[in-house]
């Protein structure tokens, strides 16, 4: 359809479906959908979303018949042993994929169509008969018999949509279509796309043809399983997606292993240098094509691994898909990776994607121009959200990976996660990404093996290559990684506007991370083993907190005890958590806590003031800020997060914001208005860690209604223990009132040797603070609502992937990369000759997402203001993109009525910032919707060799 006339004819023909006349299923009319379109733009842009809805409403039968007939045609072509060849058209199959990608969101969005969709595609009476349909639908047939009455087709053992899912997997490994073949033989070849897990070898330049075909199939697969987008966060884990259930639960072992390894290795390849990562092309469309293929590969992998099997699985038994309850085999197989080289490859590749923007050496600055260009944008890495989620999932489902990353990479991972929280916590468009980082950091901080590694001394060389604004403001020793994290967390919590109402939803999670970090210490018998045989510094024996970290912690206590802070509902619990973790550290590790006790004793009056503030607190009272802590670290402007330009959409909800990177990188953004959803309170409650004794909802429910804070504050016991201990210490060491700096070491030694056991015996410590009981860190527990939030973030990321890649990776960097290719010769090794073609990529690239303007419920869209200066940028950007598209395609086109300027779209979070503490079910509980699979199963682990049918 190169000419405008042919496009108009196609458009008018399609609109005939909206007439009152039912089109027979055996009419030649249906052939236009797989024979006429030349590109995906023909399918998406010639008919608007409003016109598709009008067709659906006026003649639902025609609309559903189109979906069904195109599905059958795709299955017929995919099952033909001659595909792809001149006898079985590759173009027709791709057009079938495009039409289904276009239509399925409009099937999913309408609840009234669910019964019809289940009847058509999940009932055996409407099943797909390979023999009969193939005979009627032969590729060589010129007859008009597309199909007779579909209800007459008998089933060959599985429903239509199961076959469609499996056909898509098969098409991803079809010779001469998506994988290379050494001979002219056709059919499937289950060989892994890239070297890495399950396959060894050298990296080859990516094939534009294979990438284009893979992109079409991956996009269809994502659309097929996107039913999840049309459920609310509260119901998505129960409802799920039948297609996704079949994909992760019914795909045969060989296909599943090959698919997982291909997707995983594709994700890992992007961490390589520019000559090997396969991302650098001289042609902007080819570059966009490769980036999108990588993006959809990573996102499909994440969706498969995260997916919890829903309650709706009876259909799998009814349609003979399986006789047993299905399990998420993608998650199972990922949990079976165990060999040391595989762990090193996975961890090194995934961590490299996250760490490169945080710390890079002077040598990298000089040699890796591509990396520097990415860093200059001020945005997180392109796939940062997906990689963080993948690391989190691997940490949960693979004990071998958990053990590996809890060793050497633990310090690098925790520092990197903290950096992203520090840098982007106040940038609304990254709220979802930051929240995932925070929840992941909370999860790993509750793991004893992981957190103990943070007691290592911070490597000076690693510290010096951190971004300047992320370094500590004071000079001198950094101390341990735990010291650095405690100081940064305390500083962040002090600098943020915590009196705002509703309070920042991130604050509670940061306090919970702090709660987990403070009380950890090295057992005396192991004190020389943590740092590779070197003991910790004399000033902080047994991994105790440094002086700077203790000072920051004390400042935070004072900050949290202010009347302005306590006015916000729930903030008194945050103060109680900080005081409680200090008490745990003192009562459980007295020798390691000597510096902390020293600092508290020096600021004894301030801690007494905290108790007085709580006891005399009145809801409407606002007092002056308490005096500053002695010898505190001075805050500076460098400690604040830098301004972020060129914001991209945040990983989905906190149901994050959706935006496409503007072609004009410095164009100003309009003010965003937060939209509060109906699930805010439940999501915030679900994301809270299981609270300690006395702070759960059940404990609060037993308190008198409207009782003053002096009677209900859960930190009373901890603060009284701290004050009583310090007061007895001061009586024993009167020099606390006045001593010189030279005498501080002697005072610290006396603090360490003080008789704490006798003091604690007299105080009769509560069981939760006694050494006789095991300290319990705060653990994040999965629930249905928490998983709903999690999935909404992932699907929001999928929703805006197309515009993110188009805007961030191409519009901004294309000219720089051309220069880089010229200067450094990237194009010689990173791109093949066919990658320079413009026509092939342009036929498969979309201007917008397949789900745009559909009524999804998992997250919400916020319209951006179109007033002021921004409007001029939007108009210019839209015009340039259209002119660029005209230049690249070199053909006439009909203006797209439904072309959406993606700058107008934002994913908005339905999550309010107020937290409500809640006791969730244990992670190991049977009530958690995460599908726990025993290692004793039918399937064996992944072998590190190429899979094939042979």
Do 686 and 737 contact (CB within 8 A), yes or no? no
Would 815 be classed as within a structural domain? Answer: no
Closest CA to 265 of 390, 93, 132, 435: 390
Integer Cα distance of 417 and 478 in angstroms:
18
Q: Give the H or E element holding residue 862.
A: strand 860-863
Integer Cα distance of 366 and 334 in angstroms:
37
Do 560 and 613 contact (CB within 8 A), yes or no? no
- CA 212 centroid distance within chain: 25
Q: Which residues of the chain have pLDDT under 50?
A: 126-136, 138-157, 360-377, 529-538, 621-628, 631-676, 812, 814-815, 817-836, 864-929, 931-950
Integer Cα distance of 551 and 635 in angstroms:
12
Would 52 be classed as within a structural domain? Answer: yes
Integer Cα distance of 214 and 281 in angstroms:
18
Would 854 be classed as within a structural domain? Answer: no
The total number of structural domains in the chain stands at: 1
pLDDT value of residue 669: 38
The number of C-alpha atoms within 13 Å of 146 and in the hemisphere containing its C-beta is: 23
Q: Exposure string (b/e) for 900-918, b if CB count within 10 Å is 16 or more?
A: bbbbbbbbbbbbbbbbbbb
Per-residue three-class SS string for 904-920: HEEEECCCCCCCCCCCC
Do 424 and 494 contact (CB within 8 A), yes or no? no
Closest CA to 493 of 608, 607, 577, 597: 577
Q: Which residue has the tokens 């195109």?
A: 70
**CB-based contacts of 688, cutoff 8 Å, min separation 6:** 508, 512, 915, 916, 917, 918, 920
Do 659 and 863 contact (CB within 8 A), yes or no? no
Helix (H, G, I), strand (E, B) or coil at 270: coil
At 152-205, the pLDDT tens digits run 333 344 678 789 999 999 999 999 999 998 777 888 999 999 999 999 989 999
Closest CA to 899 of 887, 885, 918: 885
Q: Which residue has the tokens 């939007």?
A: 874
Integer Cα distance of 309 and 307 in angstroms:
6
Q: Which residue has the tokens 């004990």?
A: 399
- CA 855 centroid distance within chain: 23
Would 124 be classed as within a structural domain? Answer: yes
**CB-based contacts of 458, cutoff 8 Å, min separation 6:** 411, 478, 479, 480, 481, 483, 484
Residues composing the chain: 950
Do 142 and 154 contact (CB within 8 A), yes or no? no
Sign of CA dihedral 584, 590, 596, 598: positive
The number of C-alpha atoms within 13 Å of 131 and in the hemisphere containing its C-beta is: 4
Extract the tokens encoding 449. 């093996």
270 phi and psi, to 5 degrees? -65, -10
Integer Cα distance of 772 and 656 in angstroms:
44
The 10 Å Cβ neighbour count of residue 152 is 11
User: What secondary structure does DSSP assign to 203-251, as a single string?
Assistant: --PPPHHHHHHHHHHHHHHHHHTGGGGGS-TTTHHHH--HHHHHHHHHS
Closest CA to 691 of 518, 913, 488, 915: 915
Q: Distance from first CA to last CA of the chain, Å, rounded?
A: 42
Integer Cα distance of 51 and 310 in angstroms:
34
Strand-pairing partners, residue 531, are: 534
**For the chain, what is the radius of gyration of the CA atoms?**
30
Integer Cα distance of 229 and 225 in angstroms:
9
Would 658 be classed as within a structural domain? Answer: no
Do 683 and 911 contact (CB within 8 A), yes or no? yes
Helix (H, G, I), strand (E, B) or coil at 341: helix
**CB-based contacts of 881, cutoff 8 Å, min separation 6:** 663, 847
Max distance between CA atoms of the chain, in angstroms, equals 103
Q: With a threshold of 0.85, does the pTM exceed it? A: no
The 10 Å Cβ neighbour count of residue 326 is 17
Q: Exposure string (b/e) for 730-745, b if CB count within 10 Å is 16 or more?
A: eeebeebeeeeeeeee
Domain membership of residue 43 as a residue range? 1-160
Would 453 be classed as within a structural domain? Answer: no
Strand-pairing partners, residue 863, are: 905
Would 109 be classed as within a structural domain? Answer: yes
Which DSSP state fits 922?
Answer: P
User: What secondary structure does DSSP assign to 704-747, as a single string?
Assistant: PTT--HHHH-TTHHHHHHHHHHHHHHHHH-GGGGS--GGGHHHH
Q: Are strands 860-863 and 905-908 parallel, antiparallel or unpaired?
A: antiparallel
Q: Give the H or E element holding residue 91.
A: helix 90-108
Closest CA to 628 of 538, 518, 552: 552
The 10 Å Cβ neighbour count of residue 204 is 13
- CA 778 centroid distance within chain: 22
Q: Which residue has the tokens 């840098």?
A: 423
Alpha helices in 496-603 (DSSP H): 505-517, 547-560, 563-566, 571-588, 594-602
Integer Cα distance of 260 and 941 in angstroms:
13
Integer Cα distance of 295 and 794 in angstroms:
12
Angle at 90 between CA 30 and CA 282, to 5 degrees: 125
pLDDT value of residue 268: 96
Integer Cα distance of 684 and 435 in angstroms:
11
Would 348 be classed as within a structural domain? Answer: no
Do 490 and 555 contact (CB within 8 A), yes or no? yes
Closest CA to 508 of 785, 780, 718: 780
At 509-528, the pLDDT tens digits run 999 999 999 999 987 656 55
Q: Which residue has the tokens 């951190």?
A: 466
Do 661 and 646 contact (CB within 8 A), yes or no? yes
**CB-based contacts of 702, cutoff 8 Å, min separation 6:** none
Integer Cα distance of 691 and 780 in angstroms:
10
Beta strand spans in 306-421 (E) = none
Q: Give the H or E element holding residue 860.
A: strand 860-863
pLDDT value of residue 481: 95
Sign of CA dihedral 591, 596, 598, 604: negative
């Amino acid at each position: 359809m190169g000419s405008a006339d042919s496009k108009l004819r196609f458009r008018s023909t399609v609109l005939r479906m909206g007439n009152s006349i039912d089109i027979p299923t055996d009419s030649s009319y249906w052939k236009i959908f797989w024979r006429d379109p030349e590109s995906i733009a023909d399918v998406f842009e010639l008919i608007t979303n409003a016109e598709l809805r009008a067709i659906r409403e006026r003649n639902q039968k025609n609309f559903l018949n189109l979906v069904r007939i195109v599905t059958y045609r795709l299955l017929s072509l995919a099952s033909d042993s001659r595909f792809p060849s001149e006898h079985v058209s590759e173009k027709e199959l791709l057009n079938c994929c495009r039409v289904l990608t276009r239509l399925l969101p409009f099937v999913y969005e309408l609840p009234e169509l669910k019964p019809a969709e289940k009847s058509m595609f999940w009932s055996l009476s409407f099943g797909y008969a390979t023999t009969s349909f193939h005979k009627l639908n032969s590729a060589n047939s010129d007859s008009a018999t597309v199909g007779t009455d579909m209800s007459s087709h008998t089933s060959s053992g599985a429903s239509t949509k199961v076959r469609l899912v499996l056909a898509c997997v098969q098409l991803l490994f079809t010779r001469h279509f998506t994988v290379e073949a050494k001979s002219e033989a056709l059919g499937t070849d289950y060989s892994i796309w890239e070297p890495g897990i399950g396959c060894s070898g050298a990296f080859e330049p990516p094939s534009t043809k294979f990438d284009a075909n893979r992109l079409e199939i991956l996009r269809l697969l994502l659309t097929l399983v996107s039913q999840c987008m049309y459920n609310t966060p509260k119901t998505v884990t129960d409802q799920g997606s039948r297609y996704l259930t079949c994909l992760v639960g019914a795909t045969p072992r060989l296909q599943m292993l090959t698919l997982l390894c291909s997707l995983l290795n594709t994700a890992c390849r992007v961490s390589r240098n520019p000559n090997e990562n396969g991302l650098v092309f001289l042609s902007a469309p080819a570059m966009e094509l490769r980036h999108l293929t990588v993006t959809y590969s990573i996102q499909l992998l994440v969706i498969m691994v995260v997916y919890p099997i829903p309650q709706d699985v009876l259909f799998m038994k009814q349609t003979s898909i399986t006789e047993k309850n299905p399990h998420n085999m993608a998650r199972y197989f990922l949990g079976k990776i165990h060999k040391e080289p595989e762990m090193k490859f996975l961890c090194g590749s995934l961590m490299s994607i996250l760490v490169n923007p945080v710390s890079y050496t002077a040598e990298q600055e000089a040699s890796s121009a591509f990396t520097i260009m990415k860093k200059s944008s001020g945005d997180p890495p392109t796939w940062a959200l997906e990689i963080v989620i993948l690391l989190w999932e691997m940490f949960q489902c693979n004990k071998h990976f958990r053990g590996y990353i809890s060793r050497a990479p633990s310090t690098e991972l925790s520092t990197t996660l903290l950096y992203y929280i520090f840098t982007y916590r106040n940038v609304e468009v990254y709220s979802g990404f930051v929240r995932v980082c925070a929840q992941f950091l909370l999860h790993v901080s509750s793991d004893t093996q992981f957190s103990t590694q943070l007691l290592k001394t911070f490597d000076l060389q690693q510290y010096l290559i951190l971004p300047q604004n992320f370094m500590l403001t004071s000079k001198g020793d950094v101390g341990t990684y735990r010291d650095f994290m405690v100081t940064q967390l305390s500083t962040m919590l002090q600098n943020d506007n915590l009196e705002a109402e509703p309070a920042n939803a991130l604050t509670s999670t940061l306090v919970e991370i702090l709660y987990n970090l403070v009380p950890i210490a090295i057992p005396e018998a192991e004190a020389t083993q943590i740092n590779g045989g070197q003991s910790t510094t004399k000033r902080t024996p047994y991994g105790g907190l440094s002086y700077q970290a203790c000072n920051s912690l004390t400042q935070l206590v004072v900050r949290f005890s202010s009347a302005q802070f306590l006015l916000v509902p729930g903030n008194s619990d945050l103060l109680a958590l900080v005081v409680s973790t200090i008490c745990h550290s003192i009562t459980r590790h007295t020798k390691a806590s000597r510096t902390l006790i020293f600092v508290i004793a020096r600021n004894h009056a301030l801690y007494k003031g905290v108790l007085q503030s709580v006891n005399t607190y009145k809801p409407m009272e606002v007092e002056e800020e308490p005096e500053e802590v002695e010898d505190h670290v001075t805050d500076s402007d460098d400690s604040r997060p830098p301004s972020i330009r060129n914001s991209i959409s945040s990983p989905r909800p906190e149901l994050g914001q959706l935006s496409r990177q503007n072609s004009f990188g410095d164009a100003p953004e309009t003010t965003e208005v937060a939209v509060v959803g109906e699930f805010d309170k439940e999501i915030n409650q679900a994301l809270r860690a299981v609270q300690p004794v006395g702070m759960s909802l059940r404990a609060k429910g037993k308190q008198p209604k409207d009782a003053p804070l002096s009677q209900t504050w859960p930190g009373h016991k901890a603060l009284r223990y701290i004050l009583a201990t310090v007061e007895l210490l001061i009586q024993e060491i009167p020099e606390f009132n006045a001593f010189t700096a030279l005498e501080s070491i002697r005072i610290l030694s006396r603090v360490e040797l003080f008789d704490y056991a006798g003091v604690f015996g007299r105080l009769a410590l509560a069981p939760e603070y006694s050494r006789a009981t095991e300290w319990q860190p705060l653990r994040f527990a999965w629930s249905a609502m928490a998983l709903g939030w999690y999935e909404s973030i992932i699907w929001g990321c999928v929703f805006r992937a197309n515009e993110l890649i188009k805007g961030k990776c191409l519009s901004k960097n294309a000219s720089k990369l051309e220069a880089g290719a010229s200067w450094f010769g990237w194009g010689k090794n990173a791109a093949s000759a066919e990658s320079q073609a413009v026509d092939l990529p342009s036929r498969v690239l979309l201007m917008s997402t397949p789900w745009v303007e559909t009524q999804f419920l998992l997250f919400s869209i916020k319209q951006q203001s179109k007033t002021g200066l921004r409007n001029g940028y939007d108009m210019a950007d839209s015009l340039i993109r259209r002119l660029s598209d005209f230049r690249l395609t070199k053909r006439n086109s009909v203006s797209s009525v439904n072309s959406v300027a993606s700058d107008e779209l934002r994913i908005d979070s339905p999550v309010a910032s107020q937290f409500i503490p809640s006791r969730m079910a244990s992670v190991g509980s049977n009530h958690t919707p995460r599908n726990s699979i025993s290692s004793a199963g039918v399937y064996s682990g992944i072998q590190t060799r190429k899979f094939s049918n042979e």
